[in-house]
Amino acid sequence: MTEKATFAAGCFWGIEAAFRRVDGVVSTAVGYSGGEFESPTYEDVCSGQTGHAEAVQLEFDPAKVSYDQLLELFWEIHDPTTLNRQGPDIGSQYRSAIFFHGPGQEAAARASKERQVAAGRFGNPIVTEIIPAATFWRAEDYHQQYFEKRGRTSHGLF
């Protein structure tokens, strides 16, 4: 039986590429989550007015990869200390967020964040939101597996 996980960590193209390489991740989709706007388009989200973050929703096999392992990768592939920004991308749509699917994921996400803080892994406070998963609006087809469609596996950040 598979489970879902949803993460926002900047531009969704690179985040999707990182998670697609994980053994046990069955499928990925990029899209928009965390806002109030119905059926947003990429242009809507880029305006910064919808409240949505660019996000990746994964389906994973917990017998092959644990949610904790996915969380560890989440912390590794972006800077969770920059509010509404990742690299050159600026705006609330690029915020760091964990959208949990149920109380088990919420507890795991909060414990994982606390481990990052206790370890002093980052020099600044972590600003990652940990919030309930809401409607996930799948992005337009041209955004799905963007780097793979262009013969690349990442944008060079990981």
CATH architecture of the domain formed by 3-149:
2-Layer Sandwich (3.30)
Task: Report whether pLDDT(75) > 70.
Answer: yes
In sequence order, what DSSP letters do the residues of 34-69 get, joined into one string? S-S-SS--HHHHHTT-S--EEEEEEEE-TTTS-HHH
pTM of the model: 0.92
**Per-residue confidence (pLDDT) for residue 38, from 0 to 100:** 95
Average pLDDT along the chain: 93
CA–CA dist 32, 27 (Å, integer):
16
Task: Identify the band that residue 18 occupies on the pLDDT scale cut at 50, 70 and 90.
Answer: very high
Secondary structure in 3-state letters for 105-148 = HHHHHHHHHHHHHHHCCCCCCCCCEEEECCCCEECCHHHCCHHH
Q: Are 129 and 51 in contact (CB under 8 A)?
A: no
Catalytic residues: 11
Task: Identify the band that residue 152 occupies on the pLDDT scale cut at 50, 70 and 90.
Answer: low
Task: Identify the band that residue 158 occupies on the pLDDT scale cut at 50, 70 and 90.
Answer: very low
Residue spans per domain, the chain: 3-149
